[in-house]
Amino acid sequence: MKITFALNGRETTWEIEPVETLLEALRRHGLTGVKQGCDTASCGVCTVLLDGKPVPSCAVPAARVDGHAVLTVEGVPEKARAVGEALAAEGADQCGYCAPGLVMSLVAMEQEPGPPDEDKIASYLAGNLCRCSGYASQSRAIKKYLGGKP
């Protein structure tokens, strides 16, 4: 079937399988920034924004996004670079497999009302698991990233 949607701000029409997940469709079309991790909406490495909200693309049917807007890490290169630099400055970028999903959650978090205090960061990013870093260095990096923004 065909779907037409806004992918990273550009109207896009794809031929997809009716039961395919958004994750599968994105990767099949070369958007490799979105990763496969758990297959069960549990880890956050496949996070993309659907109409501005972070969702696990492994649990979203690709057909659902017809007529909607999808943003992936490929659509936010400047933010991704800034987050990546902040992570690297703390040594928090270990294998980096979780990083694009983390970037997308941060992009969404910045749109949320209220100041991003420590609790909010921890709860907003709770769905972004990381097996390498132990989180502490990520938290240091994220605080610096948020603090250092204009």
Ligand X SMILES: Cc1cc2nc3c(=O)[nH]c(=O)nc-3n(C[C@H](O)[C@H](O)[C@H](O)COP(=O)(O)OP(=O)(O)OC[C@H]3O[C@@H](n4cnc5c(N)ncnc54)[C@H](O)[C@@H]3O)c2cc1C
Closer residue to ligand X (CB): 76 or 98? 98
Tell me the per-residue interface mask from 42 to 61 with ligand X, x by CB under 6 A, - otherwise: x-------------------
Rule CB under 6 A: say whether 84 interacts with ligand FES: no
Please name the residue that has the structure tokens 């769905």.
Answer: 127
The minimum distance between CB 103 and another protein, in angstroms, equals 6
Q: Least distance in Å: CB of 67 to ligand FES?
A: 23
Shortest CB 125 distance to another protein, Å: 6
Nearer to ligand FES, 44 or 75 (CB): 44
Q: Which residues bind ligand X (CB under 6 A)?
A: 40-42
Q: Which residues bind ligand FES (CB under 6 A)?
A: 36-39, 41-46, 56, 58, 94-98, 130-133
